[in-house]
Amino acid sequence: MPVIEIGRVCVKLMGREAGRKCVIVDIVDDNFVVVTGPKSLTGVKRRRANIRHLEVLDKKVEIERGASDEEVLKAIEAAGLTEFMKERVKIDRKTMLKLATVVPRER
All structural domains of the chain with their residue ranges? 8-89
Phi, psi of 33, rounded to the nearest 5 degrees:
-135, 165
Query: Of 2.40.390.10, 2.60.40.10, 2.30.30.30, 3.40.718.10, which CATH number belongs to 8-89?
Result: 2.30.30.30
Element (H, E) at 23: strand 21-27
Q: List the Cα angle 69/72/77 in 5-degree steps.
A: 125
Report whether pLDDT(86) > 80.
yes
Confidence of residue 1 (pLDDT cuts 50, 70, 90): low
In this prediction, residue 28 carries a pLDDT of 95
Q: What is the pLDDT of residues 25-82, one digit of tens each?
A: 999 999 999 999 899 999 999 999 999 999 999 999 999 999 999 999 999 999 999 9
Confidence of residue 101 (pLDDT cuts 50, 70, 90): low
Report whether pLDDT(102) > 70.
no
Task: State pTM to two decimals.
Answer: 0.84
| CA–CA gap between residue 45 and residue 36 (Å, rounded) | 6
In this prediction, residue 99 carries a pLDDT of 63
